[in-house]
Structure 1
């Protein structure tokens, strides 16, 4: 089932919708791993998705009997605030202008406020072993940042088509300096059709492999994937759902 509820984000002084998946047939005393994911409105139902197509995670989990809670945080739809809240670093972009990086605040709020709230109100397995972070595009960037910088909380990250423009060098610097829990699992993906030409594809691949190498050298178990037919949209990301759920061992049953 999908539960929608509002939660107050104090540092932004805003209410935000949570899109929460929980199994329909919860047994007495049963508790579940939790995956926190960005752009919650795009995860489960086509009618909620920005472009009319979701990742189909609900249908997938219902079909395979996955035992997991997914907490999807809806983005801020006002102006370029999604970029601000989902970027750890400030930057300037020709199309979107100045972006104030509030992603560190968002990450800390998830760790310090949202996770305790979910653990108190839902039947979770709260330990790090059962806690993950995930997202695509800007959410993929935030998943890379979150699993690397807060591996004390997140043991796994699904980093789908992460957005690196304008921020890559600062991200590499911070990841290189952080201390990573060595049992961390990280899935990183990118699609060939996300890039306009072979040079852009090579540069994008190099960036993802550099992140993969840094995390691997710190002891993480990294799963890098280049999808030959992959595009930057929900239709493509839906095809990855079974892969990262399996490789990251997200649920207690598949």
Structure 2
């Protein structure tokens, strides 16, 4: 079952669609509460017709067939120009300076909104387990999910960072992980494909970027899993194939 509604990201004064997936049993067992997974790029998670490039992750299809029961909260990305880079970038970046100028830097406000405004709203509106909250995202969504794990490790206990664009803020995210107490994180999944390319970021940089982050994370998080997926590219169709692995690892 799906519900959706519009919210205002208060610190940024922007309206945004939030898409909610409720498990099959939600309205049949009114005594039961559920863990919650927050995900970025919400328009690309559930239905192909909503997805930006015509293929969704198919998360609801997978959950309908599995024994995993959780509420998924998908927050649409900002499709205005290159604002997605700004919202999912925790720090300013010069990576695309020649093309776009300075980008990023709004990630803190975005994550603060999720923790301080959206999560309390979801916990009030639905039967959630407030202490059992996770976050996942791909590409820039993986970067901002890792940032959220470091800044709110007692809120987001399980993290999936898929095909992450760590290169956008490489030095900063590595330093933050080193400085963070991540002992409260229960599970951390990250992966990268060997054929991932975007703009002028080649596959070698993608792999080396994630390898560098994993080398730090594995010393900070007891249950940390890193996958290098042979020949995988950088799109929703590729991430759809990894959904069973990711969700089974985090929630089984």
Q: TM-score w.r.t. structure 2 length?
A: 0.92
Please show how residues 151-166 of structure 1 align to structure 2 within 5 Å: 151-166=153-168
Once residues 204 and 50 of structure 1 are traced to their aligned partners in structure 2, the CA distance between those partners, rounded to angstroms, is: 22
2:229 is the counterpart of 1:227: yes
2:101 matched to which residue of 1?
97
> Any conservation in 1 of the 2:166–2:210 contact (CA below 8 Å)?
no
Once residues 101 and 238 of structure 2 are traced to their aligned partners in structure 1, the CA distance between those partners, rounded to angstroms, is: 28
1:8 matched to which residue of 2?
8
Once residues 82 and 166 of structure 1 are traced to their aligned partners in structure 2, the CA distance between those partners, rounded to angstroms, is: 12
2:112 matched to which residue of 1?
108
SS in structure 1 of the partner of residue 127 of structure 2: coil
Say how many residue pairs are matched. Answer: 246
User: Of residues 194, 197, 201 in structure 1, which corresponds to 2:196?
Assistant: 194
SS in structure 2 of the partner of residue 76 of structure 1: coil
> Any conservation in 2 of the 1:36–1:72 contact (CA below 8 Å)?
yes
> Any conservation in 2 of the 1:132–1:157 contact (CA below 8 Å)?
yes
Shift of 1:68: 0.4
2:73 is the counterpart of 1:71: yes
SS in structure 2 of the partner of residue 215 of structure 1: helix
2:39 is the counterpart of 1:17: no
The Cα offsets for residues 24-72 of structure 1, whole Å up to 9 and x where unpaired, read as: 3321211111000000000000111001110000111111143100000
Q: TM-score w.r.t. structure 1 length?
A: 0.91
Gaps (5+ residues) in structure 1?
A: none
Shift of 1:78: 0.8
2:137 is the counterpart of 1:135: yes
Gaps (5+ residues) in structure 2?
A: none
> Any conservation in 1 of the 2:23–2:70 contact (CA below 8 Å)?
yes
SS in structure 1 of the partner of residue 195 of structure 2: helix
What is the aligned-residue RMSD (CA, Å)?
1.8
> Against the structure 1 CA distance between its residues 100 and 227, is the aligned structure 2 distance closer, same or farther, given a 3 Å change threshold?
closer
User: Of residues 23, 41, 49 in structure 1, which corresponds to 2:51?
Assistant: 49
> Any conservation in 1 of the 2:142–2:160 contact (CA below 8 Å)?
yes
SS in structure 2 of the partner of residue 77 of structure 1: coil
Please show how residues 211-222 of structure 1 align to structure 2 within 5 Å: 211-222=213-224
SS in structure 1 of the partner of residue 38 of structure 2: strand
